[in-house]
Structures are given as C-alpha cells and as structure tokens.
Structure 1
Amino acid sequence: MSPLHTHLGFFLLLLFSLHNPSCSAAVNDTLAAGQVLAVGEKLVSRNGKFALGFYKPALPEGIASKYGNITSPGWYLAIWFNKIPVCTTVWVANRERPITDLEIKLTQLKFSQNGSSLAIIINRATESTVWSRQIANRTAQAKTSMNTRAILLDSGNLVIESIPDVYLWQSFDEPTDLALPGAKFGWNKVTGLHRTGISKKNLIDPGLGPYSVQLNERGIILWRRDPYMEYWTWSSVQLTNMLIPLLNSLLEMNAQTKGFLTPNYTNNNEEEYFMYHSSDESSSSFVSIDMSGQLKLSIWSQANQSWQEVYAQPPDPCTPFATCGPFSVCNGNSDLFCDCMESFSQKSPQDWELKDRTAGCFRNTPLDCPSNRSSTDMFHTITRVALPANPEKIEDATTQSKCAESCLSNCSCNAYAYKDSTCFVWHSELLNVKLHDSIESLSEDTLYLRLAAKDMPATTKNKQKPVVVAVTAASIAGFGLLMLMLFFLIWRNKFKCCGVTLHHNQGSSGIIAFRYTDLSHATKNFSEKLGSGGFGSVFKGVLRDSTTIAVKRLDGSHQGEKQFRAETLGWRHLWEGILVGF
C-alpha cells in the first residue's frame, strides 16, 4: 500500500474514533505514572459518562452550513460527554495552542515517570511541549509513592492523586467555558486560586473568546475581555440573600429541573464558591458562559436528543457589552438578536454562522471625504436605542444642526446624537447599540448614523415633512394612550380592584395580581433592597407558601405602567413561569 493511502486511512480512523463519542475501545479511567495516551485512545470514567482524548471540533451532524463541512483548524485534548450523540466538550487543555494536522500523528499525552507532570508532547525524540501541568507542593509521601496516577472521575473531573481522594491537581480548578455538577466555581482565600470561565471563540474553535465570568472578592462578575467592560455583577450579600433562594424557586418551577438540580453557595474563612448538585446521575447538565456573554443552564433532553437552554442570566441577550460586534444593532426581542446597521454588511458571514460576531459589520460604501468641497454624506435616523459606547462631547455645537455639521466636517466621524442640548459624536467603531426591547434596554435616544448618499434608504431621503407629521401623530396617540391609562387607573382604584384580578385573583395565564399590602408584607415593607435597574428597584420577598420572590417596584413617575408591565412580561418571555404576578 502506498504511503498516501496509509496516511489517508490513518486520518479516517482518527476521525471515526474521535468524532463518535459512543464508539470506544478503551474503557480504562486511569493513566499511571510513566504511561502515555496516544491519538485514537481515550480514558473513560467508570460510569461511562465522560471520556478524555484528542479530538478535532466540527459542526454537529444535522446542522447545515452554506459554507460546506466546516471543521476546526486544530486538534485538542478534551473531556466530553461520552454517551451523548452531540459531541459536547466540558474541558479543553490546550485552548491557546491547537495541534495541527501534521503534528497530530506524533502527539501524546504523557504522565511523567515520577508523577510530577502531565503534558501534551509532540515527537518523542524532541518532546516539544504543547501544554503541561507541573505538580507542585507534593508531600513527601506523594513524592515517594508509586501510586501517583491521573484519573477521569465519574463527575467529569480529571485529577492527579497519589493518596486516595487527595488531589494534587484537578481540571475542575481550571474551567474552560462551563461548570459541571459538583464543580466549585469561586476562589480560595488561602492559596489565592481564582477559577475563571472564558467563553469559546465559536462553535468549532474552543480558544479564548471575548467573555469571562469569575466569583471573587466582589461577587460574581461578568465582563468583556477586550475592550474590558463589566456588564453584570452580583455581590456576595446578594448571592446569600437572593440569588440562591431565587434559583431554588426557579428550578422548582421548571418541569425540566424540578427535584434534581440544587444550587449551593459557600462563603467561609478559607474559600467562597458556587456549586450545584444533580440528584439524577443519569441526567446531563452544565452551566456555561456562552459566546454571546450570557450564563446559561443547559440540560440534555433525551426526547429531543438535543441540549435545552432552560435559564439565562442576564435575561436580555443584549446586556453583554458589544455582543453583536461593531456597527451592529441588538434587539433582545428577536430570536436572531444581532443585525447590521443600515447599509452595513457582515464582515465575516461564516463567523456569524459559527456564533462569532466579534468582527461585526462594515460599510457597503465608503464615506465621501473631499478636501475641496462639502461632503455629500447624509444621516440615517435610528430611534429608541441605547447610544454607542465611548462618545465624544462637542462643546461648541449648541444646536442639532451644528452637531450634524461638526460630524460631517470630520471624515472619521461615524455618527452623532443630540441629547439634552448636548452634542455627542463617535469617531471610532460604534459598539453596544441596543434597540428598546422592554426587557433591560429601555432607552429612548436617537442616533444619527452617517452614510454615503447612495446608501440612504429611499424612504428617508427628503423626509423632513413626513417626520414632522409622524412625530405629531405619535405625540397625539401617546397623549391619548396616557389619558386612557390614567382613566383606567382611576377607575380601578375607585372600585378597589388594585389588589385583585377580575377573575378570582388569577388569570388564564397563571399570573396573579397581588394587593400592595400583600407585597409590602412579603418584602417586610420593602426593606431588603437587592438592586436597581430598568426604572425600578428590586426587593427580596417571601410569600405565605414560603416561595422566595423578587419584587420590582416602580420608582417615581418617569416610567408609565405600560412600560413597567412590558418589562416584567419580558421576564416571562425569557423563562416561562418566572413571572409570578404583579
């Protein structure tokens, strides 16, 4: 047989063995000191639930791609669910250094003879190291023990031990983008160890993505790595008093999680961590920070043969900073929540298909920047949006027309806004533009996007009169709705219907209308404030049946009841059953 056919057969064998988790020859869960794990071999936990080996990411079968059979450019040492047909990794060793196709046939996972290191090496002769972990601070007994070994536990945790249940190193201390039941997610106050989750780059690249999560001295923090921007936090006090009780209530309310998932929070002198347990060993679940920047709880559905996302935090997919990339708009009410701005196109459509939108969008037509005449560029109006990050204030532009002129006079200016008699312009990429979605994005600002004249939508050219008419009509309609709403509130108070529903306290949707006095009692007169946001403050409460709830109370008069209800209904949209009442 020719060398070409030999190599082709070898790679076909690798692909067959590594991309079919249910197909396995080796059932051993242990790698002893001095042993190696070659490509095509794998460790399997005793319960058969998890496997460790080398794999090359690919799109799951059944997911069509208009770009053909897209595969990852590299190979990785990983742990994955062994009995689930959709290849799902739970830990990856060499995220920052993939192994090439030319290197993979010479690659091994080697556990040193003295049990002091675990490493991925290429070429036995040179032993070029791709990834390694040195076992530091070993006890005298561990150094002389002949029983030092690496074991893949039933929990999916890869550990190195020489004394039973005393771990010298464990993969649970170095999470990738997710945590399994039984894994501690937090920090050690004595050693300074911080466990940080980092999202994947895309569906076929487990490399370091744009978002991170950590539980540290300040609590749980979610942030974008570049540019650095924190966008969601829960303090330790909130974790103790609110998040864990609320999670317990939510998990009990959902049929997919009721009775077998239990969250737990520990904070003592030595460590602080979050953990959750599963009472059903046959079930599969994980909590991950996904590529959009949300924390998600996913559970495997045997009936659907797919992962079901049953909980997300923050609930609005537009909350993570710049989740759609530059020159894009995020709409939390849309399934495909990211879209390019008017007359912009996706910079890399293939990356978008793989859920990597960091490159965002680019202009279809360059701006007109002449040196000897005025620019012919025009402005496209985007209403009811949260303005982009990092604006520059122009003090001299005291009117909207002067603000527009200031932007047009500078070729690097991409957009402007005139808000509260102040001019703002943007000279760099437009990041974090979010449409009003009644979930968490409630801004009513207007952004004027600079476009080449040929790219302006036909309906927006010469539209000054229609704008005036539309605004006037909208104002009249808004005033009428406000009067109708006030009339309804007066009528409701007159007939004392504020605390009861018109249909025996509960509608067909299952949402209860509480009396104000009942909510005041449940929250101890609104004494335990958990936070603020979206025109209201959130308080902890406990109902008479001991159900822990979060009560959001409208603050002041700057938001109408219509908006307030729209926001709370947004919670119900994200998790059916999370909204108990109003």
Structure 2
Amino acid sequence: MFLFFLFLLLPHFTLSNTIILSQNKTLLSQNQTFQLGLFNLEQQNQLQPRYYLSIRFTSLPSPNIIWVANRNKPISSLTGSALQLTPTGQLLLTQNDTVLWQTKNTLDESPLPQLNLLENGNLVLETKNGVVLWQSFDEPTDTWLPGMNLTRVHNLLSWRTLTNPDNGFYSLRLKPPNYGEFELVFNGTVSYWDTGKWTGGAFTGVPEMTVPIYRFDFEDAYSPMASFGFSERALENGVRPPTMFRVEPFGQMRQYTWSSQAGSWNMFWSRPESICSVKGVCGRFGVCVGDVLRVCECVKGFVAVDGGGWSSGDYSGGCWRGEKVCDNGDGFEDFGVVRFGFENVSSFRAKSRSLCERGCLNSCDCVGLSFDEKSGFCRNFLGSLFDFQNLTALESGGGNGNVLYVRVPGNVSEGKIKGWNGKVLSGVVIGCVLFLVLVLGVVAVTLVVLAKRKRLKKENGLEEDGFVPVLNLKVFSYKELQLATRGFSEKLGHGGFGTVFQGELSDSTVVAVKRLERPGGGEKEFRAEVSTIGNIQHVNLVRLRGFCSENAHRLLVYEYMPNGALSAYLRKEGPCLSWDVRLRVAIGTAKGIAYLHEECRSCIIHCDIKPENILLDSDFTAKVSDFGLAKLIGRDFSRVLATRRGTLGYVAPEWISGVEITTKADVYSYGMTLLELVGGRRNVEAPPSSGDRKSDCETGDKWFFPPWAAQLIIDDNVAAVVDKKLGNVYNIEEAKRVALVAVWCIQDDEAMRPTMSMVVKMLEGLVEVALPPPPKLLQALVTGESFRGVKVDSSNAVSTAGSSSFCDNMEVSVADSESCIGEVFSPPDGIVNVR
C-alpha cells in the first residue's frame, strides 16, 4: 500500500513540475531593468565555473548582482540544471535531481501561482489575485534595494569575496535591544560600526544617507521591533537612477548610485571610511595597509595561510610563521605604535626590554610584547594578534601607548644575535685575515665607487643625506630649461607663485615651465615638497614632469595644456565654451580639488583656486594646476593671494578674519569660479547693461558680479546670469543646479559650505540641491552695511553715493540695483580688509 501511494506521488514531483529556467534562459522584468538567470560569477576561472541563480541589473556593469539564491551551493554545470515550480507552489533549484535551493510549500491546491520579476528587482511568487506567497525581498543577501524592508529577522550578509557569494563574515542588522539603528557586525557577534540613532528623518552618524528612509514600529508579545526601508525619489523628468546599499566582502557598507553621465556606478559614501577600521579584515597576524590593490600584508617573517584566498581578496585566513612555532633564535620586529586585538596578555615589571624579551622567548605561546621604559611595565601577548593597524605610519599616534614588538623567526629578525661557538669564531678569524690582506685594494676601489656614486647622485637629483625624489620626475639643470624656453621668452601667464613659460625639451616634448619667485625653505625642503607633489596624479590635476633646484633657481616643469587657462574663455572678446564643456569643466575641477582634499595621504589645501589655475587639455578636460605650491613657497598667503590688485576675487571670509584655514576656503574660491563659468565673465568687470541695472557708474567703473548673480540665482532668475554668448543653447535645469551649487559654496559660514566630494555629487545630479540662503557678507560689501556687527572699512575716504569722482578714483567699486554705493578698502597687498 505504501509503495502504491509513493508511486502516485512521484509524477507529482517529476512530471508535473513546471520548468521556469534552464541553462541560458532568463526571466526579465517588464522594462528589462532586471534579469533572473543562472549566471557564472567567476568568469576568470572557466575551468571550474560556478553558476548561481541570481538577479542582476540587465545592462549595468559590476556591481550588478543584487540577489543570489544558492550562494553556498553553486552549480558546476548548466547541463541538467533548472529552476522548477512544483504543484504545491514550491520553487526548486536542481542539478540532476539534486535539490540545491528551495522555498517552502505555499499551496495545497491549484491553480499554480505565477513567478514574476518586478521592476524594483523583487522576485515574487503570487496568485492570480495578487496574493504574495513568497518574495526574494524577504530573503535578502548582501544588497538593500528601494522597496525592501530590513527587520530584526531580515539582515544583509556579505559575500566571501568580490566574485564568491558564499556567506561572508560581515552583516548589517538592526541593533538590539531597541532596533532603532543599524550596525555592522563581524562574525555575527562583534559590532564595529553603527549608523547612529534614528532622528525621524535620518541617522545621526550618516548625514550623507539622504535617500528617503522610512521606519515602521510595532510590538509583538516578546519585544519591540522596527523595520526600515527606503524608496526611490524621482529626479528630473521622472528619471530614477538606480540606487542600492551593499555590505562589501571587506566589511564596509556602501551606497551606490548610477551616474548616466559618467556611465558607471558612483560610490556615494562608505562606512567605516577606513577599511582598516573594519574588524578582522586581515585575519591573525595580518597588517592592514588599506591600499586599493593591496588591502593587507603579513607581519614580516609570516606568510598567508590561504594564498589563493589572499589573491582573490579574502584575507580572513590571516598569516602564520610556518610549522616551526617556537625557536630560541627568534627575534622581535619593531612594529611602531599600533592598534590591535589580542586574546591573552601576561603583564609584569622588568628592568629592561631585554628581560621583557627573555620572558616572551621562554614561552612558545608568546607572540609579541610591548615595554614601557619609564614605568618598566612589560606585556607579553599570548595566542594570536589580529586587526593590526600601524598608527605610526598613519601619523595618528595613540594606540596602546607603546611600541609593539612582534616575535618573528630568527632569519628575519633585526638585531637578534645568536651565541658564539668555535666554528663561528674560526670563521671570523679567517675572514679577518682575508680582509687584512685585501684591505688596501678594497679601500682603493671603494674610493672610486664613492666618487662615481656621488657624481651620479648629483646628476639624478639625489641628496647626500639620503633623500630620494620620486622616480617619475626628471631633474633638469637651469641651463637645460633656459635653452628649452629660449631664454624664458615665451610667457604663458603670471600668478602669485611665479611666471609660466612655454618650452620645448630636447625630445620635442612641449612643456610649461613655472619659475617660482618666492620659494620657501632650503633645497632639501624644496625637493621634499616637489617629491610629494610629483606623487600626486589624477586625471583632473596637471602632471608635474620634473623640476630644477640649482643654486637660487627653483623651477617646475609641467605637462603642456594646449587650450590654455579657463580665464581666457571668460573675457568678452574671448572664445565661447559650449554649455556641455562648461559642465564638464565644473565637474572635472571639483573632482580634482576633492582628490587633493580627501584622497591624498595628506590633505592638500590649494589656497589659490581661480580660473587662471584651471587649465584645459586638447579635449577640454579641466586640470587643476599649482596644487601644493602654497606650502612649497612657505605659505606667504598675504602676498600669494594678491594676484589681482583691486579685485575681491576668490578669498574666503576666514582669510580676512584670520581664523584657521581649512579645505572650505578652497570650496569658497571654487564657488566664485563657478559663478564666473556660468556667467562667462570675471568677478570684477564693467557693469551689466542698463537693462540689468537701473543706474551704473560712469565708464571705467568696475562692478562686483557675485552678489548680483547670487541674488538672481536665489530668485530663480538663472537665465539672467547665464552667459549671453550661449544664447538658448544650454540646459536650463543643469544651469540652475550648477548656479545653486555655486551659491552654496560661497556661504559666509564655512560649516554651511559642502565638501568638494559633495559638490561633485550635487553637480552630477546625484543629490538634490536645495535653495541656499543669500551670502550676507557679499551683500554687506555691496551695501556698505555692517556684517555681524563688523563695519566694512572705508579707509580710502567716505564718498557720496553715486558720485562720479568716487567711481573714477576708487580701486574696487561695487554697486547694488539702485546706485553705485559702498566701497571696499584695498590695501597695498591687494587683500580686502573687513574689520
């Protein structure tokens, strides 16, 4: 009887199943945004393919996989593999009748439910009446999409590596016990970052998380629960760029937004900001270096436990020193001040570090030590060390307060001397005899070699004290550059840092040679700063090719920009840039400055952002020049910034007030430049036509453009500001966005100005740009009114409003819509003085 019933059931499983997918067949969403199929996620390893039932963006590049079903049970071959739907409403992923993944039974009766892939990326099994029986949004993997709710039971779990979707070590979950914020967790237990509390509209720790987040709160019989989701916000013309959050295999949470203009994913933000702050990212005895191509390395003398894993980005296996764990010949590697985790520690006092080391060497479990010479406090670390982060190298200081010495094998130890024996002593004696015999010859040869080396050092720009400039810079002699520039005869431009000349090298390469006028420090300091500048490379930064430091001559050799400086295109008689080029220049310049501020090893504040320092290559790609020179010439700011006498120009208010200068000073200067780019005119020039203003000063008067433009932009009259040479051939929505960003950048309070990385996102349309308040200081300069109780200095003379003699004689005149009133004192160094 049992076999009879079993026979009746078998066709129900084998013959009545509906095959949804097999081999290369796929299921598309209605508008073909998403695609469900059996995809090989390890394209580089064709010998051992691994297929997964996955949902991905159809036409977007990686990262595009948003959901994986069989993440821990890959399919080795498409032959005999299929996604089936049983009569009981159960999805089965099978390979040769072996079930690799399945959902629960959802029906006890027909008709069969339908499987649909929605436009939001959700795979839904539903009845014909629209009742959802199962959906992929209830079983998320590592990606959070709009419309998906994350709850106490619905967490995100990272992939093992970038190409291996096996369960990783990092998860994003609602933080217990109140579940009112998210946290990142290592190995399911150790929390190392959280979003901060929910304020009703945002998380306190992630102000960049600007997508519309919504929260549900309810209680069950056991504990309160919260559910967070986010929805897409329609942008211009109803276009919704794809947006998603991902927990990366290396433990960071990132938000990605698709940029149609760039044709790639834009990483909007990531947390923790430093990958070295992620718990367990490099495993035991692994050192986090944080480079893009090399996140981790092993402690000296150790090797990776899983070499293949390390090559694919999985560093979790950590490092080990080999089979021989304990050796009397071990030594200690000075690791600097570090932050690290440890399992056990033995503490005691010792009179010297050698006694502290002896205590560690006496125990095979001891893997490292620290010793405080002042207190004599010794700590021996037992077991394993992990989460290394060298704070000394990062110039952060702190850590545990002492230098860490890691126990390493004797063959890599520095300074660990083994005991002497007879054989060693005999060898030393023989060596000494041979040395005495050959000493005269060796001395002679050494003198010759040293003389030659000294000559080569001088030719290659090496200092006798061991300073080595960057390898990609050429050291020129003054005579070479004098010949290349034909005696410095063809002048390209002049600025606060020096004069630029066009030159042609011996290999016919055209270059721009900048002759610095006031370099600070000596030759060693100059070479050190030039070395730093030479190592900075970005598509939107002018490349330094070489330098000259000979006697009192200090010159820099740059790549030549055939289309010159942006300033040449902001003159009435100058050529006109199309709107598309202007937008590319605005975004490219912002990216270059953002790189200096946020992506270099040391933050670089430019201090002199203006159109003259924004150069255009043959494709009109914007490249920022003169970065790093403020420090190179000794930060003589009062003279450097006075590049155009009588011009308010680009100087942020904090320069005037004397407070500490931050990167926001560059943001202000960039905003001023952006206004010029939109308006196609300089900040200080002849006034606009009478149609724009009711009255003007007489001919020859100068007019300050930014306050007038800022007010029109805030009043939604951007068309009046846009360069008239463009006519109507420009995108008005893009122009409004760029103009609003400019006004945000020139806010009086530097805290209100966006960072340059945020400026890039605003310009690319990834962030909505709100209406900014009017900059009060600029208005004060126009009207002559006080600003925060500070009166604009009128030291030159008190004039009568609208007086023609005043307009003729003052060095900077700014006028409002009624008349030419107010004045700004311009002292001899050209800096605006507001007291």
For this structure pair, what is the TM-score category when the shorter chain's length is used for normalisation? Answer: 0.5 to 0.7
Q: TM-score, normalised by structure 2?
A: 0.45
Q: Is 1:306 matched up with 2:280? A: no
SS in 1 for 2:366: coil
Q: Is 1:118 matched up with 2:91? A: yes
Q: TM-score, normalised by structure 1?
A: 0.62
Gaps of 5+ in 1: 1-31, 60-67, 188-193, 253-260, 370-374, 463-499, 514-544, 547-567
**Pairing partner for 2:73 from 94, 97, 103:** 97
1:112 deviation in Å?
A: 0.8
Instruction: Work out the CA distance in 1 between the residues paired with 2:114 and 2:397.
Output: 50
Q: Is 1:413 matched up with 2:366? A: yes
1:166 aligns with 131
1:521 aligns with none
Instruction: Work out the CA distance in 2 between the residues paired with 1:243 and 1:278.
Output: 15
Instruction: Work out the CA distance in 1 between the residues paired with 2:65 and 2:46.
Output: 18
Instruction: Work out the CA distance in 2 between the residues paired with 1:161 and 1:400.
Output: 71
1:431 aligns with 386
1:277 aligns with 231
Instruction: Work out the CA distance in 1 between the residues paired with 2:360 and 2:147.
Output: 55
Per-residue Cα deviation, 1:13-59 (whole angstroms, up to 9, x for no partner): xxxxxxxxxxxxxxxxxxx9834321211110102111111111125
1:232 aligns with 193
**Pairing partner for 1:379 from 303, 309, 332:** 332
Distance 1:381 1:574, change over 3 A: farther
2:18 aligns with 34
Conserved 8 A contact 1:33-1:114: no
1:337 deviation in Å?
A: 3.9
SS in 1 for 2:94: strand
- One-letter code of the match for 2:193? W
- One-letter code of the match for 2:95? I
1:179 deviation in Å?
A: 0.9
Once the two structures are superposed, the pairs formed by residues 229-378 of structure 1 within 5 Å of their partners are: 229-234=190-195, 238-240=197-199, 243-244=202-203, 247=206, 249-250=207-208, 261-269=211-219, 271-280=225-234, 282-331=240-289, 336-363=294-321, 366=324, 369=327, 375-378=328-331
- One-letter code of the match for 2:92? A
Conserved 8 A contact 1:199-1:291: yes
SS in 1 for 2:75: coil
RMSD: 3.8
2:120 aligns with 155
2:151 aligns with 186
Instruction: Work out the CA distance in 2 between the residues paired with 1:233 and 1:511.
Output: 31
2:787 aligns with none
Per-residue Cα deviation, 1:237-294 (whole angstroms, up to 9, x for no partner): x1236853664x5256xxxxxxxx3333333447512222223555222211111111
Q: Is 1:132 matched up with 2:102? A: yes
**Pairing partner for 1:221 from 161, 164, 183:** 183
Conserved 8 A contact 2:348-2:378: yes
Conserved 8 A contact 1:415-1:426: yes
SS in 1 for 2:411: helix
2:155 aligns with 196
- One-letter code of the match for 1:229? V
SS in 2 for 1:414: strand
- One-letter code of the match for 2:83? L
Instruction: Work out the CA distance in 2 between the residues paired with 1:168 and 1:50.
Output: 21
SS in 2 for 1:186: coil
Conserved 8 A contact 2:24-2:37: yes
Instruction: Work out the CA distance in 2 between the residues paired with 1:309 and 1:84.
Output: 14
Instruction: Work out the CA distance in 2 between the residues paired with 1:298 and 1:353.
Output: 25
The structure in which a higher percent of residues are helix is 2
1:311 deviation in Å?
A: 0.7
Instruction: Work out the CA distance in 1 between the residues paired with 2:324 and 2:18.
Output: 61
1:455 aligns with 412
1:351 deviation in Å?
A: 2.3
Once the two structures are superposed, the pairs formed by residues 503-514 of structure 1 within 5 Å of their partners are: 503=656, 509-510=663-664
SS in 2 for 1:96: coil
- One-letter code of the match for 1:55? F
Instruction: Work out the CA distance in 1 between the residues paired with 2:248 and 2:397.
Output: 19
Using the TM superposition, name which of 355-364 and 300-309 deviates more. Answer: 300-309
**Pairing partner for 2:56 from 71, 75, 80:** 80
In terms of Rg, which structure is larger? 2
2:567 aligns with none
1:76 deviation in Å?
A: 1.1
- One-letter code of the match for 1:502? W
Distance 1:508 1:234, change over 3 A: closer
1:357 deviation in Å?
A: 0.7
2:41 aligns with 57
Conserved 8 A contact 2:246-2:255: yes
1:94 deviation in Å?
A: 0.8
Gaps of 5+ in 2: 1-15, 418-652, 668-742, 745-750, 762-835
Instruction: Work out the CA distance in 1 between the residues paired with 2:131 and 2:355.
Output: 70
1:382 deviation in Å?
A: 1.0
The structure in which a higher percent of residues are strand is 1
Distance 1:207 1:400, change over 3 A: same
SS in 1 for 2:115: strand
1:91 deviation in Å?
A: 0.6
Distance 1:312 1:450, change over 3 A: same
1:423 deviation in Å?
A: 3.5
Once the two structures are superposed, the pairs formed by residues 478-497 of structure 1 within 5 Å of their partners are: none
Distance 1:289 1:111, change over 3 A: same
Instruction: Work out the CA distance in 1 between the residues paired with 2:156 and 2:56.
Output: 17
- One-letter code of the match for 1:207? D
Q: Is 1:502 matched up with 2:460? A: no
Q: What is the number of residues matched between the two proteins?
A: 414
Conserved 8 A contact 1:316-1:440: no
SS in 1 for 2:199: helix
2:346 aligns with 393
**Pairing partner for 1:205 from 136, 139, 164:** 164
Conserved 8 A contact 2:48-2:76: no
SS in 2 for 1:131: strand
Conserved 8 A contact 2:52-2:71: yes
Conserved 8 A contact 1:210-1:224: yes
Instruction: Work out the CA distance in 2 between the residues paired with 1:299 and 1:512.
Output: 26
Distance 1:574 1:413, change over 3 A: farther
Q: Is 1:445 matched up with 2:398? A: no
1:354 deviation in Å?
A: 1.9
- One-letter code of the match for 1:107? S
Conserved 8 A contact 1:244-1:263: no
Instruction: Work out the CA distance in 1 between the residues paired with 2:55 and 2:386.
Output: 35
1:503 deviation in Å?
A: 3.6
- One-letter code of the match for 1:262? P
The answer to which structure, 1 or 2, has the higher relative contact order (CA under 8 A, 6+ apart) is 1
Per-residue Cα deviation, 1:129-166 (whole angstroms, up to 9, x for no partner): 11111145x6xxxx545251121111101111115443
- One-letter code of the match for 1:402? L
1:308 deviation in Å?
A: 2.7
Distance 1:421 1:221, change over 3 A: farther
Instruction: Work out the CA distance in 1 between the residues paired with 2:71 and 2:398.
Output: 34
SS in 1 for 2:355: helix
